């Protein structure tokens, strides 16, 4: 089976469902509350495992009441958690408001994720054995850079989700094979908003391949090796919860690419996976299995 390593965050998502999200200073009454295991790293790990890969997760949970459930959730989806540390103190938490249109706003508190500042020999060994390393920006930048460089040295494809968006150090960009921002992250990185094609071209100055995800509008792929960017439409569906859509997309994309499928096929397959997930509530709980994606 295809091996993928994820170096990233685990968070407990504390999700409030409301009709209209509160503005600053405003209080609204919601209609439902759920605790859902998440974090961009854990989400991508579960998505990739359910999409059919053998996945190892490097990260950390806390010693609080959430740590055990985060571990159990990853293990239940078949993710190898041997390298998931337990750090004294709280687990990461994400405080999410989902509105009546399925759109979300999120506050992340790193907790245990903040303790992952460097990698062990065992971490680097598991990265070296994988086909792909999936990275996001919810762990300390020092660990993200170390992971990307370890992957690069071993010929492992690095796929970076630049979220939450922030300026990327040159050494991270230099070790990134495929960058997958959503349109907001692409705008933050480039200063170009409302023009994904131009944003993608700007990002190609730093990395060889870029996919900008565009929510219900699908995604745009651009590569240094190819003259024209390729747009892939998202299947038209009724979204109830877009939390984690991007992570499902990246997890599935990584699996398809690691299996050697051509980029356009992989993007279509990832779009199908993400469209399945937005029709169901939650992040991890809504992630589709390979048989559903193949449909």
Q: Taking CB within 5 to 8 Å according to partner kind, which of ligand ADP, Na ion, none is near residue 237?
A: ligand ADP
3-state secondary structure of 96: strand
**What is the nearest approach in angstroms of ligand ADP to the Cβ of residue 216?**
4
What are the structure tokens assigned to 166, written together? 């922030």
| Residues ≥6 apart with Cβ < 8 Å to 260 | none
Phi-psi region of 213 (alpha: psi -120 to 50; beta: other; left: phi over 0): beta
| Residue 194 marked in a binding site | no
Choose, from 80, 123, 177, 247, the residue flagged as catalytic.
247
- Residue 181 or 244: the one with the smaller Cβ distance to Na ion is 244
**Residue 277 makes contact with Na ion by CB under 5 A:** yes
SS3 199: helix
The only residue of 17, 66, 221, 249 in contact with ligand ADP, by rule CB under 6 A: 249
Stretch touching Na ion by CB under 5 A, among 19-27, 46-54, 197-205, 271-279: 271-279
85: phi then psi, degrees, rounded to nearest 5: -80, 160
195 flagged as catalytic: no
Residue 213 makes contact with Na ion by CB under 5 A:
no
Segment contacting Na ion by CB under 5 A, of 2-10, 134-142, 211-219, 239-247 = 239-247
Is 280 annotated as belonging to a binding site? yes
Q: Which of 9, 10, 11, 182 binds ligand ADP (CB under 6 A)?
A: 182
Buried b (16+ CB within 10 A) or exposed e, 39-72: bbbbbbbbbbbbbbbbbbbbbbbbebebbebbbe
Known binding residue 59? Answer is: no
* Binding-site ranges for Na ion (CB under 5 A): 241, 277, 286
């Amino acid at each position: 089976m295809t091996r993928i390593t994820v170096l990233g965050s685990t968070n407990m998502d504390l999700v409030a469902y409301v009709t209209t999200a509160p503005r600053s200073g405003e209080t609204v009454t919601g209609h439902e509350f759920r605790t859902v295991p998440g974090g961009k790293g854990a989400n991508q790990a579960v998505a990739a495992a359910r999409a059919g890969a053998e996945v190892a997760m490097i990260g950390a949970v806390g010693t609080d009441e959430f740590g055990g459930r985060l571990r159990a959730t990853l293990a239940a989806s078949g993710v190898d958690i041997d390298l998931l540390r337990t750090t004294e103190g709280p687990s990461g938490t994400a405080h999410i408001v989902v509105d009546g249109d399925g759109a979300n706003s999120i506050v992340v508190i790193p907790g245990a994720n903040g303790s992952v500042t460097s990698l062990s020999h065992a971490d680097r060994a598991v990265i070296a054995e994988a086909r792909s390393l999936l990275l996001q920006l919810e762990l300390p930048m020092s660990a993200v850079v170390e992971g990307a460089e370890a992957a690069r040295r071993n010929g492992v494809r690095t796929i970076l989700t630049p979220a939450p968006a922030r300026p990327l150090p040159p050494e991270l960009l230099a070790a990134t094979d495929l960058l997958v921002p959503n349109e907001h992250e692409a705008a933050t990185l480039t200063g170009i908003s409302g023009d994904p094609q131009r944003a993608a071209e700007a990002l190609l100055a730093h990395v060889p391949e870029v996919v900008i995800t565009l929510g219900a509008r699908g995604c745009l792929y651009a590569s240094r090796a190819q003259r024209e960017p390729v747009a892939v439409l998202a299947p038209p569906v009724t979204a109830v919860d877009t939390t984690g859509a991007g992570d499902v997309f990246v997890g599935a994309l990584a699996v398809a690419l690691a299996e050697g499928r051509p980029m356009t096929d992989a993007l279509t397959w990832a779009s199908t996976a993400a469209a399945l997930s937005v029709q169901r509530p939650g992040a991890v709980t809504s992630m589709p299995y390979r048989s559903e994606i193949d449909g």
